[in-house]
C-alpha cells in the first residue's frame, strides 16, 4: 500500500518550506535563539495548545485569528516565554511580526515562544534576526537548535512517504521539551511541516488523535507550561495524499519525538513504560498510570535502581482507583515482583528485578484484575540533576 522511510534533514526535506536559526544575544554564546519556518505557498494550520489557564501571549495571538485561517510564516524564540505579560505581550508580538521583510509577503504570521515567564520580550533583539536570517535556507539544524531550552540534544525528524503508485509526500518536525512535561495535556513546542495534500479536516482530527497517543502519554515532572504548542503546517505542495499513510507517519513522528523528550527528561537516565491493565474503568487505568509516572517515590526508586515494588503498590493504592491487594499483579518486564501467590520477593527474583531496572528502558505492568481497561503512559526517573537543573534554571 505504502512505505514510510525515515530520512535525514528534518524540516528541510519538505517541499516548499524554508527555515533558519540565528543567535541575536537572548542567550549567551553562539547557539541560535530565534528561528523561522516559512512556506512559499499558504499553509493550512492545525494546533493543540496547553491546558494551562494562563496561556502565553503567542497562544492568545494565534487564537485571535478566524477559524481556518492560513499562514506562511512562524517566528520562534527561546529563553523568554512571553507569558503573564498582559496586553503588552500581544502588542510586542504584533510589533515584531509587522517588521518581517515585506518581500516575503507574510500572511497571518505567527509567533511561538519558550523560556522564562513574566518578562517582556526583547523586541529589538528579536527583530534584529530578520537581518541575519537566510530566508531561502533550509537549515533545519539551526532552527531545531534555536528552540532548545534545557534540552541537551536537538530534536528533529523527517519521513518520506511513498505510495504504491510511486508518488511521494513528506512530513517532518522540530521539537523542544525536557521538563515541565505532564500527561493528558498538550505539551512543549513542536512544529510539524508537510507537503502532503491533506484536507484541513484530516489535519485537525489526525493531529488531535496523534497528540493524545504520544505527547499526552509522557511525564517528566507533572508540571504543565503556559506555552505548550503542537502545530501542523500543510502547504499541499506535493499534491499527494493518502490518509492512512499520513496518519501512520504522523503517529510514528509524534511517538518518536515524545520518546526523545523523555530520554532528554531533565536529569533523566531511564524511560519507563507504565502499563495499567484490567482496571475497572478507562478513567481508573489512566489515573493509576499517570500517578505512577508522577510519583516522586517511584521516580527516585527508578533512579536508585531499587526493585522496591512496594512503592508501585502504594502509589496504585493512593491513586484513588478501585483495587484489591489480592488481585493485583506487578511485573517488571516479564518478571512478577508481586502477586498474592508470590508475596515475598526472594533474593533470586530480586536479583532479576535489579537486572531489569539497570536497563535504559523497561516496562512496569500493574494488572489490577478488576476489569478490562488499560492505559499505557511513559515516565522517567528523578535524579540529582533534575533538582540541579531546576534550582538553577534562571541563573
For the bound state, the minimum distance from the C-beta of residue 209 to its own copies, rounded and expressed in Å, comes to 23
Query: Quick one: which of 187, 238, 278, 383 contacts its own copies (CB under 8 A)?
Result: 383
Choices 69-77, 112-120, 166-174, 256-264 (CB under 8 A): range interacting with its own copies: 112-120
Site string for its own copies, 183-222 (x = CB under 8 A): --x-----------------------------------xx
Instruction: Give 304's contacts (C-beta < 8 A, 6+ positions apart).
Output: none
For the chain, how many residues are written? 395
For residue 223, state whether it binds its own copies (rule: CB under 8 A): yes
Residue 155 C-alpha cell reads as 530534536
Nearest in space to 196 (alpha carbons), one of 230, 248, 161: 161
Is-catalytic flag, 187? Answer: yes
Site string for its own copies, 228-267 (x = CB under 8 A): ----------------------------------------
Site string for its own copies, 307-336 (x = CB under 8 A): -xxxx-xxxxxx-xxxx-xx----------
382 φ, ψ to 5°?
A: -120, 120
Strand pairing class (271-279; 361-367): parallel
Q: In whole angstroms, how far apart are CA 37 and each of 75, 111, 134, 155?
A: 7, 10, 11, 15
Nearest in space to 221 (alpha carbons), one of 259, 182, 253: 182
Strand pairing class (361-367; 329-332): antiparallel
The SS3 of residue 48 is strand
* Residues within window 338-377 making contact with its own copies, judged by CB under 8 A: 338, 340, 343-345
Please state at what angle helix 296-303 crosses helix 309-318, rounded to 10 degrees: 160
For the bound state, the minimum distance from the C-beta of residue 288 to its own copies, rounded and expressed in Å, comes to 11
* Cα torsion through 382, 388, 391, 395, rounded to 10: -140
For residue 225, state whether it binds its own copies (rule: CB under 8 A): yes
For residue 174, state whether it binds its own copies (rule: CB under 8 A): no
Residues designated catalytic:
187
Residues binding its own copies (CB under 8 A): 50-55, 81, 83-86, 88, 116-120, 179-180, 182, 185, 221-226, 294-297, 300-301, 303-304, 306, 308-311, 313-318, 320-323, 325-326, 338, 340, 343-345, 382-384, 386-388, 390-395
Amino acid at each position: 500500500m505504502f512505505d514510510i522511510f525515515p530520512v535525514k534533514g528534518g524540516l528541510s526535506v519538505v517541499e516548499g518550506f524554508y527555515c533558519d536559526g540565528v543567535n541575536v544575544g537572548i542567550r549567551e554564546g553562539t547557539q541560535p535563539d530565534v528561528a523561522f519556518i516559512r512556506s512559499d505557498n499558504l499553509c493550512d494550520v492545525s494546533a493543540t495548545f496547553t491546558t494551562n489557564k494562563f496561556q502565553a501571549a503567542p497562544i492568545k495571538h494565534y487564537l485571535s485569528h478566524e477559524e481556518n485561517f492560513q499562514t506562511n510564516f512562524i517566528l520562534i524564540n527561546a529563553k523568554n516565554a512571553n507569558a503573564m505579560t498582559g496586553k503588552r505581550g500581544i502588542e510586542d508580538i504584533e510589533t515584531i511580526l509587522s517588521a518581517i521583510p515585506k518581500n516575503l509577503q507574510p500572511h497571518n504570521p505567527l509567533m511561538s515562544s519558550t523560556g522564562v515567564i513574566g518578562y517582556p520580550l526583547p523586541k529589538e533583539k528579536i527583530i534584529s534576526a530578520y537581518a541575519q536570517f537566510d530566508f531561502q535556507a533550509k537549515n533545519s539544524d539551526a532552527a531545531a537548535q534555536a528552540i532548545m531550552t534545557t534540552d541537551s540534544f536537538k530534536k528533529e525528524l523527517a519521513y518520506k512517504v511513498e505510495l504504491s503508485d510511486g508518488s511521494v509526500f513528506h512530513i517532518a518536525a522540530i521539537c523542544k521539551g525536557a521538563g515541565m512535561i505532564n500527561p493528558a495535556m498538550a505539551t512543549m513546542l513542536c512544529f510539524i511541516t508537510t507537503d502532503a495534500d491533506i484536507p484541513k479536516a484530516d489535519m485537525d482530527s489526525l493531529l488531535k488523535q496523534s497528540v493524545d497517543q504520544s505527547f499526552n502519554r509522557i511525564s517528566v515532572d507533572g508540571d504543565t507550561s503556559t506555552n505548550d504548542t503542537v502545530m501542523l503546517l500543510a502547504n499541499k505542495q506535493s499534491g499527494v495524499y493518502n490518509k492512512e499513510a499520513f496518519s501512520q507517519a504522523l503517529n510514528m513522528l509524534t511517538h518518536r519525538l515524545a520518546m526523545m523528550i523523555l530520554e532528554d527528561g531533565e536529569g533523566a537516565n531511564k524511560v519507563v513504560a507504565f502499563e495499567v491493565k484490567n482496571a475497572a474503568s478507562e478513567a481508573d487505568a489512566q489515573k493509576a498510570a499517570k500517578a505512577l509516572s508522577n510519583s516522586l517515590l517511584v521516580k527516585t526508586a527508578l533512579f536508585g535502581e531499587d526493585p522496591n515494588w512496594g512503592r508501585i503498590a502504594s502509589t496504585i493504592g493512593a491513586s484513588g482507583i478501585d483495587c484489591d491487594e489480592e488481585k493485583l499483579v506487578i511485573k517488571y518486564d516479564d518478571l512478577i515482583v508481586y502477586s498474592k501467590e508470590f508475596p515475598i520477593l526472594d533474593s533470586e527474583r530480586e536479583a532479576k528485578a535489579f537486572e531489569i531496572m539497570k536497563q535504559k528502558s523497561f516496562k512496569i505492568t500493574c494488572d489490577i484484575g478488576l476489569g478490562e481497561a488499560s492505559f499505557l503512559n511513559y515516565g522517567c526517573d528523578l535524579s540529582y540533576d533534575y533538582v540541579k537543573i531546576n534550582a538553577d534554571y534562571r541563573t
